[in-house]
Amino acid sequence: MCSIAGFYHPFANFTARQGEFEHILQQMGQCQTHRGPDEAGIFLNSECGLSHTRLSIIDLKNGSQPMTRSLGSQLYHIVYNGEIYNMKALRQSLFARDVIPKTSSDTEVILLSYLTFGEEFISKLDGIFAFAIYDEFHKTITLCRDSFGVKPLFYTVSDDTLIFSSELKGLFCFPGVKARIDKNGLNEIFGIGPARTPGSGVFAQIHELKPGTCLTCSPFGLFTHTYFRLQSRPHEDTYEDTIEKTRFLITDAIKRQMVSDVPVCTFLSGGVDSSLVSAVCAKELAAQGQTLTTYSFDFTDNDKYFQANSFQPSMDRPFANKMVEFLHTDHHYLECGSHTQADLLYESVDAHDLPCMADIDSSLLYFCSEVAKQHKVVLTGECADEVFGGYPWFHKDTFLNCNTFPWTPDLSPRKQLLNKDLLNELDMDAYVQNAYETAVREISVLPGESQTEANRRRIGYLNIRYFMQTLLNRMDRTSMHSGLEARVPFADRALVDYVFNIPWEMKAKDGIVKNVLRQAARTLLPDEILFRQKSPYPKTYHPYYEKLLSKRLRAVLEQPDCPLRPLVDTTAVSLFLDKTKDYGAPWYGQLMAGPQMIAYLLQVEYFLRKYHVEIVM
């Protein structure tokens, strides 16, 4: 994995001030060195500048970037972040055209495929990626992002110059790009957050390239097109064939995503998702005479303070122990304390350049930093719940019929803490409702589907477009902040495309949550794991953590220059801090309850202060 950044203007003359723009490129790379600490490079000519930092995983010797190849006398340049899992097939397609790569680098395969087959080859890429290809002869640059947005890519246009970067911080290295937030940005933070509307960069005039999308900029202007989107199709396979095909797609995705020239490891919680990924990896490595390394996470004293609830029914450790015994892995238990996860709330904002999932992010940031001391590549069980229907909102009528995002069915916990004048100005309910309605219009229901089935299809689509994207963002930023590449086999395009159209009577046959996944994993896992009730990523229940957060937020709000003060109702916040928190009633997702609301406000305050955000209404 790596970071990419750059700028483009078809009528500029960047080389007239070469030293200045080379320095800008270096800054764009240096601020993202955590994503690629092994190597850095830049390219600059009169119209285009490219910057790259590298985390060496494939072809450690010959994969340097920016990479340049020629077609006749015409030169093409690429910067790329990601991993391609169908490299063998792509190379064979090139060989069939007598195009012979000089290296084993997937970067070169992407560039040569682009030169050989044109932009249409992108739909054939199987992997996680964000890249930019600059065509010198036609003075054109093309940006592309993978089908589900596993790898990030942001852009803006300033004075007719296209500026792009893996992370938002890279954009702010370019002169004239400012950290401004308008009414839409505030609605993203307080109404949609910690999710984001697809395409939103939160900051004014800054955009995220949507998943499955390419952007082309040339002397004739800028345009985008979508090369992949989920589509509703009738499911024609029998139940037995569905289980068999799902098993193949899952195990094939896991095996393909093990490709690496450095050792891989897995996260292992003891849930069915991470256990299945670990089981397949362990078997593959055992066939090579190797032992899989696994990691699980928990919080200090959670054995004393854990509170079972409908969202988090059980602790992970007993189930993780069972899987370690079953797979014979080299296992490591990592534990995070209250001070650590509170102290890392701000660094989590540094990783995202935005407020994020509070301590759910800060703790994962810590765990990834520990794993990164020994490994560069990890496979995770992320995204299985979004794809196979593991969340409560797939099953309960109150969620199915809520006519809004089911993970935030009620905005009142957010609104009650905000300044009333600001609330009137934002019209948050209308903003969120419009975002919801825009999203559900993107997916069609099938003829003959009942209203309940249609609602489930819409919620399934929303989960992949919104909720899954939030978790993929979390996984990328928290891992790459320490130079750890996280791979997500359950976000494999072929798998998601197939499972999306499996009817609910199969997905939850006999009332079993994620039934298709569990049946597909038979013989690979012990029944105790296979049919374990879902329990999400762990969080702390230690009372000291809440007290620590409350103390810190009170201290922040007492500062006269606190940028959060004008945005909140300080009296309402004070009363909220005095109340006993409900750990089982989330205001976002399954994990973000009372303590996480305090942590989120701390992150918002730090975000406004660190980036010197100018609010323009």
Q: What residues have CB less than 8 Å from 209, skipping those under 6 apart?
A: 130, 143, 144, 145, 153, 154, 155, 164, 199, 215, 224
Within 13 Å of residue 332, how many CA atoms lie on the same side as its CB? 16
If you search the block for the tokens 């592309």, which residue do you land on? 144
**Torsion angles phi and psi, residue 573, rounded to 5:** -65, -40
Classify residue 179 by burial, with Cβ atoms within 10 Å: 0-12, 13-18, 19+.
buried
Q: Are 572 and 417 in contact (CB under 8 A)?
A: yes
Classify residue 234 by burial, with Cβ atoms within 10 Å: 0-12, 13-18, 19+.
exposed
Tokens of 13: 């003359």
Would residue 31 show up in a list of annotated catalytic residues for this protein?
Answer: no
CA 210 to chain centre: 12
Q: Are 591 and 162 in contact (CB under 8 A)?
A: no
| Catalytic residue from among 2, 144, 336, 383 | 2
Within 13 Å of residue 353, how many CA atoms lie on the same side as its CB? 24
Using CA atoms, how far apart are residues 387 and 415, in angstroms rounded to an integer?
A: 31
Handedness of CA 191, 382, 214, 175 (dihedral sign): positive
Using CA atoms, how far apart are residues 546 and 553, in angstroms rounded to an integer?
A: 11
Using CA atoms, how far apart are residues 56 and 36, in angstroms rounded to an integer?
A: 8
Find the radius of gyration of the CA atoms of the chain: 24
Ranges of H-type helices in 391-448:
397-400, 412-415, 420-426, 428-440
Using CA atoms, how far apart are residues 470 and 440, in angstroms rounded to an integer?
A: 17
Q: What are 611-616's contacts with CB under 8 Å, separation 24+? A: 611/172, 611/179, 611/353, 612/179, 613/179, 613/180, 613/181, 613/563, 614/178, 614/179, 614/180, 614/181, 615/180, 615/181, 615/182, 615/186, 616/180, 616/181, 616/182, 616/204
Q: 134 pairs with which residues across the strands?
A: 77, 141
DSSP run (H or E) holding 154? strand 154-158
Q: Are 598 and 577 in contact (CB under 8 A)?
A: yes
Q: What residues have CB less than 8 Å from 191, skipping those under 6 apart?
A: 411, 414, 426, 428, 431, 432
SS3 labels along 511-564: HCCCHHHHHHCECCECHHHHCCCCCCCCCCCCHHHHHHHHHHHHHHHCCCCCCC
* 8-state DSSP, 310: S
Q: Are 94 and 84 in contact (CB under 8 A)?
A: no
Query: Buried (b) or exposed (e) across 386-417, using 16+ Cβ within 10 A?
Result: bbbbbbebbeeeebbebebbbbbeebebbbeb
Residues noted as catalytic: 2
